[in-house]
Structure 1
Amino acid sequence: MELSDNTSKGKVIASGIIPFAFVIIMMAYIFGPGADLLDLGIPLPEITIEKVDFVDSEIQATVRNTGPIPVEVVMADVNDRIHPAAVEPDGFLERYETALVRIPFDWNEAEPYIIGITVDDGTRFEKEIEAAAPALQPTLDLAVFFAIIGTYVGIIPVMIGLLWLPFIKKISKSKYHFFLALTAGLLLFLALDSIEEAIEVSDESLAGSFNGALLVATVVVLSFLGLYYSGEKLVQRASSSKFAKPVAIALMISIGIGLHNFGEGLAIGAAVGMGSIAFSTFLIVGFALHNTTEGIAIAAPMSRGKLMIGKLAAMGMIAGSPAIFGAWIGGFVYSPFTSVIFLGIGAGAIFQVIVILMKWLREEGDKNLSSASVASGFAVGMLVMYLTSIFV
């Protein structure tokens, strides 16, 4: 009997492996003996200029081979004028390999430039810079500057929003449902905003071979599934206490908002590095007004538990402080690919929190989620976020 069981298990395993084996054989044939049969055209080179830095009397362009064939960088130009250039580590690039092209050039701050790279077959690729700005060098003063900006746009607004907790704690059940739905509306806007930013970054700085929109969609879904599973486990553990569950949900909201603010910090740091943003008082106030609503999202679930100042402050730090780390990374080691990934993760995290909130609203007594308080709360949340985003 045991032998029969082992035989049946072996058949099941074999039936699962055999299709994969045929796929491997097919791919080996296509890229091996069958390659000539599929050679129906001429593969074209593609170079992506991912980043341009202006350093002292030099322009440095980071290039990546995003085409299907190896290429060699042979020439560089600035504003259609050829200039001598050094390529590090060398000019020959396999697919997805990167190189640094260093062009000696006396550039002027705030002037526009077009950087061109030509490969061995004569194809030229270019990137336009609207206004040249000195590349940021990691210094203590600049790190402190980014920390201050991250505090202004991340931590302080969230902490101000948490001050709504005493008010939410004293309102009726229907009004409480309104604020829970308002929270969901706020979060939905943040998720859509993250997706929009991720697609914008991919369109501007990622090559078409990365399939930017599909990359964003994949990261959002995987992030949602992974965090939804871990979030469900967290809520289940907290279900034994009516006071622990609100804390668990508030923690998930804080993490989701924190991931979003990390992406926002990346954008701020990158913008400072490119010299395309001026941090005026009006801009700081605009960010603060927009992000203050994030504190309400954390305060709403926490209002149904015991008032725990320490945990509330910790939630605010989890939600707001990632803006500082994002600004550091965006300013000093910005990468379009990682920016798209983190923005997608932030959107997925927020979507899973929205699902958790909707489930909690049902458990709170609003079974069909179609009451006036829920519908109006959701709508007001979206509207408030849109109106405050206009000031940013």
Structure 2
Amino acid sequence: MELSDNYSKGKIVASGIIPFIFIILMMVYIFGPGADLLDFGIVLPEITIEKIDFVDSEIQVTVRNTGPIPVEVAMADVNDRIQPAAVEPDRFLDRFETTLVRIPFEWNEAEPYTVGITIEDGTRFEKEIEAAAPALELSLDLVIFFAVIGTYVGIIPVMIGLLWLPFIKKISKQKYHFFLALTAGLLLFLAIDSIEEAIEVSDENLATSFNGTLLVATVTVLSFLGLYYVGNKLVSKANSSKFTKPVAIALMISIGIGLHNFGEGLAIGAAVGMGSIAFSTFLIVGFALHNTTEGLAIAAPMSRGKLMLGKLAAMGIIAGSPAIFGAWIGGFVYSPFTSVIFLAIGAGAIFQVIVVIMKWIQEENDKNLSSLAVVSGFAIGMLVMYLTSILV
């Protein structure tokens, strides 16, 4: 009997493995003896200029081979004039390999430049810089500067938004559902904003071979699924006296907002590094007003639990402080690829939180999500975020 069971299990395992074996054999044939089947048309090379740094009397260009075939960097030009250039470590690039092209050039700050890279077959690729700015170098002053900016646009606005807690705590159940739905509307706007930013960064800085839009969609879905699983585990522990359901939901909201603010910090740091943004008082006020609503999103679920100032402050730090770390990374070691990844992760995390909030409203509101309080709250949440975003 035991032998029969083992034989049956072996058949099940074999039936699962055999299709994979055939897939592997098919791939081996196509890229081996059957390679002639794919040998048609013209294979075009492609390189991507990922980053341009302006240093003392030199322009440094980071180049990646994003095409299907190896390439050789032949020459460089600035504003359509060929310039001498050194290529480190070498001119030959396999697929996805990077190299640094160093161009001796007396550039002027705030002037526009177009940098071109030509490969061995004569194909030229270029990237335009609207205003040249010195590459940022790690220093204590810049670290403090980014920390201050991150605090202004991240921590302080969220903390201000948390001050709505006493008001929300004293309102009726129907009005409370309105603010929960308002929270969901605020978060939905943030999620859409994260996806829009990720696709924009992808379109402007990543090669088509990365399939930027599909990359954003894939990471967003994986982030949603992973955090949905973790979130359910978190909420399932909410019956304990030390960790209530409102605290669990507020923590998930804080994490989702924190991931969004990290991506926002990356964009801020990168913009400063490229010299394309001026941090005026109006801009700081605009960010602060926009992000203040994030504090309200955390305060809404916390208002139905016991008032815990320490946990509330911790939620604000979790949500706001990633803007500081994002600004540091964006300013000193910015990477478009990682920026797209973190923005997409933030979007997935926020979508997961929205699902949790709507399920909570449904449980508390006799499974009714179409009440006037819920619908109007959701709509007003998105409208508020849109209106405040105009100021940024």
TM bin (shorter chain): over 0.9
Looking at structure 2, the residues matched to 27 and 283 of structure 1 have their Cα atoms a distance apart, in angstroms, of 54
Is 1:125 paired with 2:122?
A: no
CA distance in 1, matches of 2:293, 2:129: 35
Question: Deviations for 1:243-298, whole angstroms, at most 9, x for unmatched residues?
Answer: 61100000000000000000000000000000000000000000000000000000
Equivalent pair of 1:243/1:304 in contact (CA under 8 Å): no
- 5 Å-filtered alignment, 1:44-193, equals 44-193=44-193
Distance 1:30 1:137 in 2: 49
Whole-Å Cα distance in 2 between the matches of residues 366 and 134 of structure 1?
60
Name the counterpart of 2:259. 259
Q: Is the 8 A contact 1:242 1:305 kept in 2?
A: no
SS of the residue 2:237 aligns to = helix
Residue 371 of structure 2 corresponds to residue 382 of structure 1? no
Q: Does 1:215 align with 2:235?
A: no
What is the CA–CA distance in structure 2 between the aligned matches of 1:204 and 1:266, rounded to whole Å?
Answer: 15
Residue 28 of structure 1 is matched in structure 2 by 28
Structure 1 pair 245–351 and aligned structure 2 pair: CA distance change class (3 A)? same
User: How has the CA–CA distance of structure 1 residues 366 and 379 changed in structure 2, closer, same or farther, with 3 Å as cutoff?
Assistant: farther
CA distance in 1 between counterparts of 2:189 and 2:366 reads 22
In 2, are the aligned partners of 1:154 and 1:319 still within 8 Å (CA)?
yes
2:245 is paired with a residue whose SS is helix
Where structure 2 has 5 or more consecutive residues not aligned to the other structure, the ranges are none
1:303-347 Cα shifts (integer Å, max 9, x gaps): 000100000000000000000000000000000000000000000
Contact 1:70/1:95 (8 A) holds in 2 = yes
TM-score (norm 2): 0.99
Q: What's 2:12 paired with?
A: 12
Give the corresponding residue for 2:232: 232
Question: What residue in structure 2 maps to residue 42 of structure 1?
Answer: 42
1:304-383 equivalences under 5 Å are 304-383=304-383
Deviation of 1:9 after TM superposition, in Å, equals 0.8
1:348 Cα deviation after fit: 0.1
1:126-152 deviation per Cα after TM superposition (whole angstroms, max 9, x unaligned): 001111000000101000000000000
CA distance in structure 2 between the aligned counterparts of 1:33 and 1:287, rounded to whole angstroms: 59
Deviation at 1:365, TM superposition (A): 2.0
Q: Equivalent residue for 2:391?
A: 391
Paired with 1:56 and 1:104, the residues of 2 have a C-alpha distance of 9
Instruction: State the distance in 1 between where 2:56 and 2:243 align.
Output: 58
Residue 245 (structure 2) pairs with residue 245 (structure 1): yes
Structure 1 residue 15 displacement after superposition: 0.6
| Structure 2: distance between partners of 1:175 and 1:241 | 26
Supply the distance in 2 between the matched residues of 1:320 and 1:254 (Cα, whole angstroms).
8
Alpha-carbon offset, residue 63 of structure 1: 0.6
Q: Distance in 2 between matches of 1:38 and 1:63?
A: 28
Match for 1:341: what amino acid? I
Deviations 1:348-379 (A, max 9, x none): 00000000000100111241200000000000
Q: Give the SS at the match of 1:33.
A: coil
Q: CA deviation at 1:195?
A: 0.2
Alignment match, 1:295 = 295
Check the 8 A contact 1:64/1:98 in 2, yes or no: yes
Q: Distance in 1 between matches of 2:366 and 2:305?
A: 19
Aligned partner letter, 1:205: N
* 1:243 and 1:305 in contact (8 A); partners too: no
CA-to-partner distance for each residue in 1:176-201, whole Å, 9 max, x for gaps?
00000000000000000000000000
Task: Give the residue type in structure 2 aligned to 1:375.
Answer: V
Task: Write the distance in 2 (CA, Å) between the matches of 1:381 and 1:239.
Answer: 29
Q: Pairwise CA RMSD of aligned residues?
A: 0.9
Residue 278 of structure 1: aligned partner: 278
Matched letter for residue 52 of structure 2: V
Q: Counterparts of 1:187 and 1:70 in 2: how far apart (Å)? A: 44
Q: Give the Cα–Cα distance (whole angstroms) in 2 for the partners of residues 332 and 34 of structure 1.
A: 47
Q: In structure 2, how many angstroms separate the alpha carbons of the residues matched to 1:242 and 1:279?
A: 43
* Partner amino acid, structure 2, of 1:3: L
Unaligned runs of 5+ in 1: none
* Distance of 1:366 and 1:66 partners within structure 2: 54
Amino acid at match of 2:285: V
Name the amino acid aligned to 2:217. A
* Counterpart for residue 196 of structure 1: 196
Residue 240 of structure 1: CA displacement?
4.4
4+ residue runs of structure 1 moved beyond 2 angstroms? 239-243
CA contact (8 A) 2:183 2:381 kept: yes
Instruction: State the aligned residue count.
Output: 392
Amino acid at match of 1:43: V
1:323 and 1:366 map into 2 onto residues whose CA distance is 38
Amino acid paired to 2:378: F
Contact 2:237–2:243 under 8 Å retained in 1: no
Deviations 1:204-242 (A, max 9, x none): 000000000000000000000000000000001113459
